[in-house]
Amino acid sequence: MNKIEHIGIAVKDLEASNLVFKKLFGAPHYKLEEVASEGVKTSFFKVGPNKIELLEATREDSPIAKYIERKGEGIHHIAFEVEDIAKEIERLKGEGFIVLNETPKKGADNKLVAFLHPKSSNGVLVELCQEVK
Ligand code: ZN
């Protein structure tokens, strides 16, 4: 793994949260994107070399809606950049991690993504992401 690619935060109201985080960072989001297949709307902020992703559910069966129902708003996942997502999935499976989607799927921000189940990583939902070139 290379670095933390971004941190994902689950929010109830993306528009309102965009204003909050704009005040926090002193700069607005640079990107808005809906990922219909995941039932989410996202926005991205840059903080120096780091990125923060806000996620709002667009339907009730969205993983974000379920998360907020169970745990409330807050930090939802940490995403790590990888060079070769297929290889990394194989490696992590071999190490005993539970991979939620073994076939990488298209995520926001032009990435191929896969998630590890939080129960295999101390309660942390880990996202692997590989830039699509
Ligand atoms: Zn993410």
Mean pLDDT of the chain: 96
Q: How far is CA 66 from CA 58, 88, 90, 126, in A?
A: 11, 27, 28, 17
CA-closest candidate to residue 64, choices 104, 13, 105: 13
Confidence of residue 118 (pLDDT cuts 50, 70, 90): very high
User: Could you tell me the distance, in angstroms and rounded to a whole number, from the CA of residue 59 to the centre of ligand 1?
Assistant: 18
User: Could you tell me the distance, in angstroms and rounded to a whole number, from the CA of residue 127 to the centre of ligand 1?
Assistant: 6
Mean pLDDT calculated for residue range 19-29: 98
User: Could you tell me the distance, in angstroms and rounded to a whole number, from the CA of residue 115 to the centre of ligand 1?
Assistant: 9
What was the pLDDT predicted at 98? 97
Residues 6+ apart with CB under 8 A from 56: 10, 11, 12, 13, 14, 17, 40, 41, 42, 64
Asked whether the predicted pLDDT for residue 133 surpasses 90, the reply is: no
User: Could you tell me the distance, in angstroms and rounded to a whole number, from the CA of residue 72 to the centre of ligand 1?
Assistant: 17
pTM: 0.93
User: Could you tell me the distance, in angstroms and rounded to a whole number, from the CA of residue 76 to the centre of ligand 1?
Assistant: 9
- Report the Cα 107 to chain-centroid distance in Å: 8
* Separation between Cα atoms, residue 18 and residue 13, nearest integer Å: 9
* Exposure b/e, 73-107, CB count within 10 A at least 16 = b: beebbebbbbeebeebbeebeeeebebbeeebeeb
Confidence of residue 107 (pLDDT cuts 50, 70, 90): confident
Confidence of residue 125 (pLDDT cuts 50, 70, 90): very high
pLDDT, one tens digit per residue, over 34-87 is: 999 889 999 999 999 999 999 999 999 999 999 999 999 999 999 999 999 999
Asked whether the predicted pLDDT for residue 29 surpasses 90, the reply is: yes
Q: Which residue has the tokens 């840059």?
A: 46
Q: Which helix (H) or strand (E) holds 54?
A: strand 50-57
User: Could you tell me the distance, in angstroms and rounded to a whole number, from the CA of residue 38 to the centre of ligand 1?
Assistant: 11
pLDDT > 70: percent of the chain: 100
